[in-house]
Chain A
Amino acid sequence: MMRVERTIKYDADRVKGFGKEIMNVPGCEQLSNCIQCGTCSGVCPLSIYMDYTPRQVMALTRADFKNEVLRSHTIWLCASCYACAVECPREIRITDIMYELKQRAIQEGIYPKHFPIPVLAREFSQMVLKNGRITELLLVLRLFLKTNWRAALGNWRMGLDLLKTGRLSLRTEKIEQRAELARMLAAVDGKGGTR
């Protein structure tokens, strides 16, 4: 069925205080200086795939449009190439703001559920927590299982290449001090702001 949605935002859509919250995170303060020049969107190699451009995300965040920002694909399409951050004439750490928004979206459980990127981030962190290291192929297989197992079959050619070039190893990489690592990471829990 066709979904009809309002294309402009009302004042009532805002979540008052969200912009302030983000700008209070150390490293995100410069957001208040954004002049909406659009340099970030211009240099971003992925902005053409985004629902909101980086410039729009900056404006929406500052103007308290929390739900629009946290549900957007934009924050997940950011590949952390830092092109925007080094070009921004107002020295806004845009990449780090994107990271902050990704964390909020995961914490609040409102990221696009079957979008593979947040799933990858979650699977990645769980594997590190368990083993201390990443076994790349196992991670990729888990990602495919959780999102689109048919895609794994579509990549049979790559599997064959990896086998031929001696890179298809599924031996789990682990560190010795896994208990130590778990205790360390547990010590971070229970504390809110970290940056």
Chain B
Amino acid sequence: MKYSYFPGCSLKGLGRAYEESLLPVMQHLGVELEELPDWNCCGATAYMAVDEGKACVLAARNLALVENSGRQQLLAPCAACYLVLNKTKHYMQDFPAMKDTVDRALSAVGLRYRGNIAVRHPLDVLLNDVGLDAIKQKVLKPLDGLKVAPYYGCQVVRPYATFDDQHNPTTMDRLLETLGATVVRYPLKTKCCGGSLTGTVPEAGLRLVYILHSEAKKRGADCLATVCPLCQFNLDAYHAGLSRQYGPVLVPAVYFTQLMGLAFGLPVQQLGLNRSAIPFRRRPATVAEPTHQAAPAGITPGA
């Protein structure tokens, strides 16, 4: 399986632990990733607010470069990149004026996008191309006893994703269970983390982050599993301010790929776990609750 790989700016910057864990995990599963040469910023949410035409041109340059490379599948791990690249595909299909604008801009530099690239999220590739059976075979150190709150955030499931449910996505839940983890019920799994509002309007942004933490805590989660670099940053980097304002409510936030690496028994140093401000420590197995308890007298097992 070969994919063109679009890291995006975050995976080279504040979210580098995502790339550090994604690459070895994919390699371990036999998924070949080739970084798209000279990829440019997808434009994220910010460029769409300034000029939608240019935002689509930015994204389309990347799609054209993938086509030139002869690949048909593009892996986009960052939620914002995944959304914007897919949005551009939709806009070019749905709005002829937008297609004209993009075609003209690309042709000014001798590029063309014919519409043949599938933009995929790692969760999609892992469940639908690799398969949970193949993943299960690689699990050397099951995450027994680890309680995980699966947090998908907004832009991976809304509005363009076709691989999971918009209201109650379950791909990551099933993946985590395959790794041996216990997935806690987490009704906020698709609620917004505040995006860049944590920095621009902290009063509003940080409150959303706090709500995500306190719910995970209430559900007894040992950690939150994230699929997006901005979600992870928001859940992790503002810990000092959050603790000051709301008290001890924080739960470590890790990328789902880091949990995969741990379960596969990959070297911990290679998974970027040292990049988090809220330290994530795997509970030693001896502390884990015993799985086979004697049934109390008077109660028939399985009744």
Question: Which of B44-52, B116-124, B132-140 participates in binding chain A?
Answer: B44-52
CA distance in complex: A132, B276 (Å): 28
As a 0/1 sequence over residues 153 to 180 of chain A, the CB contacts with chain B under 8 angstroms (1 = contact) are 0000110011011110100010111001
Q: Do A121 and B49 form a contact, CB below 8 Å, given A80-B155, A175-B38?
A: yes
**CB-contact partner of B195 in A79, A169, A177, under 8 A:** A79
As a 0/1 sequence over residues 259 to 296 of chain B, the CB contacts with chain A under 8 angstroms (1 = contact) are 00000000000000011110000000000000000000
**CB-contact partner of A128 in B43, B154, B159, B238, under 8 A:** B43
Query: A67 on the interface (CB 8 Å rule)?
Result: no
When the two chains form their complex, are residues B97 and A26 in contact, meaning their CB atoms are under 8 A apart?
A: yes
**CB-contact partner of B154 in A26, A81, A195, under 8 A:** A81
When the two chains form their complex, are residues B52 and A195 in contact, meaning their CB atoms are under 8 A apart?
A: yes
Q: Do A188 and B16 form a contact, CB below 8 Å, given A81-B154, A83-B154?
A: no
Q: How far in angstroms is the closest Cβ of chain B from A40? A: 13
Query: B208 on the interface (CB 8 Å rule)?
Result: yes
When the two chains form their complex, are residues A86 and B192 in contact, meaning their CB atoms are under 8 A apart?
A: no
**CB-contact partner of A188 in B54, B94, B155, B204, under 8 A:** B54
When the two chains form their complex, are residues A137 and B13 in contact, meaning their CB atoms are under 8 A apart?
A: yes
Query: A136 on the interface (CB 8 Å rule)?
Result: yes
As a 0/1 sequence over residues 194 to 211 of chain B, the CB contacts with chain A under 8 angstroms (1 = contact) are 111101110110001000
* Most chain B beta-carbon contacts within 10 A, residue among A46, A49, A135, A176: A46
Query: B126 on the interface (CB 8 Å rule)?
Result: no
Taking CB atoms and an 8 Å cut-off, the chain B residues in 168-222 that contact chain A are 190-192, 194-197, 199-201, 203-204, 208
Give the interface of B toward A (CB within 8 A). Answer: 9-10, 12-14, 16, 38-41, 43-54, 56-58, 61, 91, 94-95, 97-98, 101, 104-106, 108-109, 111, 154-155, 158-159, 166, 190-192, 194-197, 199-201, 203-204, 208, 237-241, 274-277
CA distance in complex: A132, B12 (Å): 14
When the two chains form their complex, are residues B277 and A85 in contact, meaning their CB atoms are under 8 A apart?
A: no
* 23 cross-chain CB contacts under 8 A: A80-B195, A83-B154, A83-B158, A86-B158, A103-B49, A116-B200, A117-B196, A120-B199, A121-B49, A124-B44, A133-B9, A134-B13, A136-B13, A137-B13, A161-B239, A162-B237, A166-B274, A167-B16, A183-B108, A184-B108, A188-B101, A188-B105, A194-B56
When the two chains form their complex, are residues B192 and A128 in contact, meaning their CB atoms are under 8 A apart?
A: no
